[in-house]
Structure 1
Amino acid sequence: MAPDETGSAVVTGRAYRLVTTGCLTILIALIVVLGIVVSWLWYRHWHDGNVNSRRSEQALASILKQARAKADDTARALGTTAATDPATDPATDADALTEVIWQRTEAPVINYNASRREFTATAARSAVYDEAGILPGGGPVKVTRCLVFTYTPHPGRAWTSRVTERDEDMCRPGTEIGGRVRLAWTRIAGMPAEDLTRAGVQKALDPTGQRRSYDVKSAARRGDTVTVSLVVSSRGPGTTVDQCYRFTRPAAGGDGQNSATAVPASSCRPRG
């Protein structure tokens, strides 16, 4: 082999080794960088998961804390109402006590069990927390608990309250009823005065007569006020939940929805 060819081969070999070494060095560097990135992402995922879990638990604990405070406040209000007006005994005027409970809990479904002399109010309660995350998808997150408030009177003693958590399925009927009450409230508030009859309100709420979500029991005028009593229902597979509501508004109309009210009642029987 000629001297120039030998030198050329040596140079080529060195260049090849340099290129190979350089590529290997770059590859190792990329692997190291990729390992650092993966480790960092794993750590952030683990860290953010712990942070979000803690925030979710705090939000849920806050719901329960507020619910218990609200239950205690409602129990005191029931005791005050009974002391102020002895006629508001559950056996004789469950409607008045139902209204006291609704004013403080805004529970869409409130039942009175006469045999146990006990009120139960079912409502979903929510709280919002900020979800941590390095990727899109973080931000405000709402958590919800289904709660049942129980109120019981005791002879010679104050009312007692109890808050229990239930499966979210138990609150779905109440959520549906709450939405339907708001719709009924809007329609009744905007109806012409001459249509505020039992048949007129039934047609306004259920034009096709097929939904069976509303059953208007009465529409009575007393002085300048019209009171509409109706049963609002939620129907699901194997279960039906009914709640009576009483809507009031000026007989001749008024300031739109601001003049109408909707309050749950223990039953839709005509008041004596």
Structure 2
Amino acid sequence: MADTTGSPVVTGRVNRLVTTTCLTVLIALITVLGVVVSWLWYRHWHDGNINSERRDRALASILERSRATADDTARALDTSDATDTDALIGVIWRNTEAPVITYDASRSEFTATAASSAMYDEEAMLPGGGPVKVTRCLIFAYAQRPGQGWTSRVSERDDDVCRPGTQIGGLVRLARTRISAMYAEDLTRAGVQKALDPTGRLRFYDVKSAVRRADTVTVSILLSSSDTTVAQCYRFTRPVGDADQGSATAVPVSSC
């Protein structure tokens, strides 16, 4: 019998079969790749829309919360017996926790600057999703006109406006921690200055005074942002008893 395996007819059939198989596999791969790309594009579009909606809701919640805070603070000022500037600043600070609070005597208006944040869960196919924090820079203004109650106003500013105040807030927390840990005999103007600025090269802390009355030491410190554009005076109060222990409190005041 003649061997036909190497004949042109058989070789052609084999080549056509291989070509057809390769084309079928290639078409299948292209189809699968197209499905995958379409799915990835859809997920990107879908997740982007969801994340945008969640971010907008989080930002809206910050404004809603800030307006409620402004109203609550105005009511607290109305019901407060405080009349002097520092006492009124204390009322505003307890309600807003704004690290920087100033008073404009020409307009009889207090201004509190604070960054407020909210969290939302970000959708993502790859690692990197999860909780995301968004922040808004807010300005609270409080004024009292003759014969009228306190009014409040909230406005939004660029993040750069709040950055110095955020730095000052961090400096306040650090100062509270160090003053709380100090020995009573070291709670002098020079002692606190050294504890906050051991090298004497920092521009952030300027201890103005440290006064002891009975079992309490009051320290007045002017704190400045790193760019020195914003400064705020704080009054730190530290109890000092026989146990020589106590946590310091801090509140902003109009001057040192």
Residue identity matched to 2:25: I
User: Residue 263 in 1 paired to residue 254 in 2?
Assistant: no
Give, in whole Å, the separation in 1 of the partners of 2:165 and 2:75. 25
Aligned-partner SS, 1:212: coil
Aligned-partner SS, 2:175: helix
1:160-171 aligned within 5 A: 160-171=151-162
| Equivalent residue pairs, number | 256
* Structure 1 equivalent of residue 55 of structure 2: 56
Give, in whole Å, the separation in 1 of the partners of 2:109 and 2:88. 11
Aligned-partner SS, 1:157: coil
* Structure 2 equivalent of residue 247 of structure 1: 236
Give, in whole Å, the separation in 2 of the partners of 1:38 and 1:53. 22
* Structure 1 equivalent of residue 131 of structure 2: 140
| From 214, 226, 229, the counterpart of 2:217 | 226
Identity percentage of aligned residues = 73
Give, in whole Å, the separation in 2 of the partners of 1:105 and 1:195. 32
Residue identity matched to 1:139: G
1:100-119 aligned within 5 A: 100-119=91-110
Give, in whole Å, the separation in 2 of the partners of 1:260 and 1:7. 98
How far is the alpha carbon of 1:212 from its aligned partner?
1.6
Aligned-partner SS, 2:172: helix
How far is the alpha carbon of 1:134 from its aligned partner?
1.2
Residue identity matched to 1:24: L
Answer yes or no: is the 8 Å Cα contact 2:183–2:244 preserved in 1. no
| From 167, 171, 185, the counterpart of 1:176 | 167
How far is the alpha carbon of 1:251 from its aligned partner?
2.7
Answer yes or no: is the 8 Å Cα contact 2:209–2:221 preserved in 1. yes
Answer yes or no: is the 8 Å Cα contact 1:149–1:161 preserved in 2. yes
Aligned-partner SS, 1:111: strand
Structure 2 length normalisation: TM-score? 0.95
1:77-88 aligned within 5 A: 77-81=76-80, 85=81, 88=82
Gaps of 5+ in 1: none
Answer yes or no: is the 8 Å Cα contact 2:239–2:245 preserved in 1. no
Structure 1 length normalisation: TM-score? 0.90
How far is the alpha carbon of 1:133 from its aligned partner?
1.2
User: Residue 21 in 1 paired to residue 23 in 2?
Assistant: no
Answer yes or no: is the 8 Å Cα contact 2:5–2:11 preserved in 1. no
Answer yes or no: is the 8 Å Cα contact 1:193–1:253 preserved in 2. no
Aligned-partner SS, 2:54: helix
How far is the alpha carbon of 1:7 from its aligned partner?
7.5
Residue identity matched to 1:69: A
* Structure 2 equivalent of residue 10 of structure 1: 9
How far is the alpha carbon of 1:235 from its aligned partner?
3.1
* Structure 1 equivalent of residue 116 of structure 2: 125
Give, in whole Å, the separation in 1 of the partners of 2:208 and 2:159. 30
How far is the alpha carbon of 1:199 from its aligned partner?
1.2
How far is the alpha carbon of 1:146 from its aligned partner?
0.6
Residues 237-267 of structure 1: CA distance to partner in whole angstroms, max 9, x if unpaired? Answer: xx5211010011113376856x321111111
